[in-house]
Amino acid sequence: MRCIRVIMSLTAMLGVSFGMMQPQLLASKHLKQHKHSSSSSTHHCDYDYIVVGSGPGGATCANRLAEDKHNRVLILEAGPSMDDSISIAAGLCPGQTDSPAFCTVPIQQEFNFFSKSDPDINGRSWNSQWARVTGGCSAHNGSVFTLADASYFDNWQAFTGGPWSANDIRSQLDSWRTIRNPEGQVLTGRGPLQILQPTHDNDIVDIFGQTILDLYGIPVTPANDFQLFTNSPQIQYSQDSSETVFMTFLPPPANVESPRSWASEAFLTPRKNLTFLYDAPALRVVFKGKKAVGVEYFSEGESRIAYANKGVVLAAGFHNTAKILNVSGVGTAERLASLGVEPISLVPAGENFKMQPGLTLFMLMDPQLVINSCNNKINAFGISGLQSIASLPDATRPADADKRGWQLQFNPFPIDANTAGALLDIYFFLPLSTGQSGALNNDPTWSALFEPNGLSDPADVVSLTQIALEMRQFTDYIEANFPGAIVAIFDGTFTSPEFLTDPSVREQWVRNNVGNAIHESGTCRMGPNDGTNVVNHKGRVYGTKNLYVADNSIIPNVPDNSISPTYPGNTQAIAYIIGNQIGKQLTGKIKKKHH
């Protein structure tokens, strides 16, 4: 039987209501009653490895570690089990522009985080989705898997000196990736992770494809070409939403297929040497000198400690990993001093934060066109929709004209029998702006800092202003060439003549509408030990022993020319690759030496 210890829900245990706008998680008052108490509140269990987080990075790394039957592996997951189809309501929290904690939400839910007010976006807040549930980001955003360009990984290897080249990655993929076509045939791979990117032929995607072809000259490209590792501009005719696991926090209806799988469901198979604790958020790393020897975590109303003989692997996500490091004594001298935390290692954990900003436009569509195109299928939320994607070049950066500069997503959906809407979403792939994350104070139950500074670099404003123009050109083309497809766009600024002719109008529109921070990374950047990076090519935190990071916080996406600054699009595939590569290095299965 699967070796799992299910921990009771923290919020159920405490009887806490999270509807209130409070600056920190209410569990902290209970934690303070226990964390320095007697040994009765400490869970003395020895493991070889402790992995914090069950998302793509944590799940794949734990899987590799547990393949060695001599390794006893503990996974600490802050949320509950999605793998057991526990019904979880998405928790939305209001923005708190005047509060240092920004957001208070149930720790077991998928939720939105909001930054403090940012003058660069006219005093509004950035928002980002973080998921505390088994599977992490793979469980809340549709199990998307899109590979980066080969040059991206080759630059990664050159910068870090580790086994991160395209050849290194390509040689590992088939051992843990499975792709099935709509007929259920295995196309490639032998592993447990199912990836399906079907093409759904209908009138909506035909309109989308013809518009992109005529405006950009880009034909349809397979969504995932695993041999080419192409990062070139492309159109992906994407899936009917009923064919994806998209924010499936509720068990899908019987008539809904779920051909994609998420990280914990795919990789954390039953093993006698694998223990899984739900609702057990990690608080801090326990050190003996510079050596990580365990993790303090919160469970059943008290803090406990689990000990690790060989290593602690943090895979808690781009913000929470940095926060855990900070409260444990790993960070810059200035930050640790401000937190009142005794330094263990002085590295820039929480700095170099990068994310992709987005823009969204709502419109009404011809309901019959949309309903016919959706084939009357429904997804797990009882609605049907489509998503067509184009990855396009950034016209403001000629040097990157052959790369994916931004992504345009066209998402029509029926509202009722007589009404249909559509979201036109864009995500900017080449940001130069840099922010910070990590700990706000030395209480590990507080929310992590979220300060993207997403328009701090003027070049990003220029790019997004041009992209806004191209969004308008997209809708204008559809209205001119497919009459009646778009019924109404309610944004008067976007539809005004001045929007086409005056860049200052578009810039203000961008500042008033930009948000949706996604694909965050860099807070524990991998690279040389020169004071600007946090981990080495094996994911080990500089200045420590037996402490590793295996999530997207280590992506070495620096904004200078030492490595390609090109974001690859969706970063979920990279998280799988990170966990896989670091797990294989820790177990000695990657023996090739890189210099």
Over residues 72-118, the pLDDT tens digits come to 999 999 988 776 543 333 332 333 333 333 333 333 344 567 888 99
- The whole-number pLDDT of residue 152 equals 81
Residue-number span of the structural domain to which 154 is assigned:
4-586
Residue-level pLDDT, tens digit, the chain, 595 residues: 222 222 222 222 222 222 222 233 323 333 332 232 223 344 456 899 999 999 999 999 999 999 999 999 999 999 887 765 433 333 323 333 333 333 333 333 445 678 889 999 999 999 887 777 888 888 766 666 777 777 788 889 999 999 999 888 877 776 777 765 555 556 566 678 876 555 556 788 889 989 999 999 887 765 544 444 455 555 554 444 433 333 333 334 444 444 567 888 889 888 999 999 988 999 999 999 999 999 999 998 899 999 999 999 999 998 899 999 999 999 999 999 999 999 999 999 999 998 889 999 999 999 999 888 876 554 434 445 677 888 888 999 887 777 778 889 898 888 877 899 999 999 998 889 999 999 999 999 888 899 999 999 999 999 999 999 999 999 999 999 999 999 999 999 999 999 999 999 999 999 999 987 788 889 999 999 999 999 999 999 999 999 999 999 999 865 443 444 455 557 888 899 999 999 999 999 876 555 4
- Asked if residue 594 belongs to a domain, the reply is no
- The whole-number pLDDT of residue 508 equals 98
- The whole-number pLDDT of residue 130 equals 76
- The whole-number pLDDT of residue 245 equals 33
- Asked if residue 330 belongs to a domain, the reply is yes
- Asked if residue 182 belongs to a domain, the reply is yes
Q: What is the DSSP string of 375-434?
A: TT---TTS---B-EEEEE--TT-GGGTTS--EEEEEEEEEEETTEEEEEEEEEES-----
- The whole-number pLDDT of residue 236 equals 53
- The whole-number pLDDT of residue 458 equals 97
d(CA 322, CA 438): 5
In a 13 Å sphere around the CA of 538, the CA atoms on its Cβ side amount to 22
| Coil vs helix vs strand at 140 | helix
Strands 436-438 and 291-299: unpaired
Tokens standing for 270?
């039953």
| Domain count for the chain | 1
- The whole-number pLDDT of residue 186 equals 60
- Asked if residue 366 belongs to a domain, the reply is yes
Closest CA to 147 of 102, 195, 88: 195
Sign of the Cα pseudo-torsion (54, 188, 520, 246, in order):
negative
Residue with tokens 């640790």: 336
d(CA 125, CA 104): 15
- Asked if residue 38 belongs to a domain, the reply is yes
Sign of the Cα pseudo-torsion (305, 308, 312, 316, in order):
negative
- Asked if residue 490 belongs to a domain, the reply is yes
- Asked if residue 445 belongs to a domain, the reply is yes
d(CA 61, CA 55): 10
Taking only the tens place, the pLDDT of each residue in 524-575 is 999 999 999 999 999 999 999 999 999 999 998 654 434 444 555 578 888 9
- Asked if residue 359 belongs to a domain, the reply is yes
- The whole-number pLDDT of residue 429 equals 84
Helix (H) or strand (E) holding 81: none
In a 13 Å sphere around the CA of 517, the CA atoms on its Cβ side amount to 28
Residue 174 — φ and ψ, nearest 5°? Answer: -65, -20
Distance of CA 49 to the CA centre of its chain: 24
CATH number of the domain within which 549 lies: 3.50.50.60
Cβ-Cβ contacts under 8 Å for 429 (sequence gap 6 or more): 356, 391, 394, 403, 404, 405, 406, 407, 566, 567, 568, 569
- Say if residues 292 and 494 touch (Cβ distance below 8 Å): no
- The whole-number pLDDT of residue 336 equals 97
- The whole-number pLDDT of residue 2 equals 26
In a 13 Å sphere around the CA of 150, the CA atoms on its Cβ side amount to 11
- The whole-number pLDDT of residue 399 equals 78
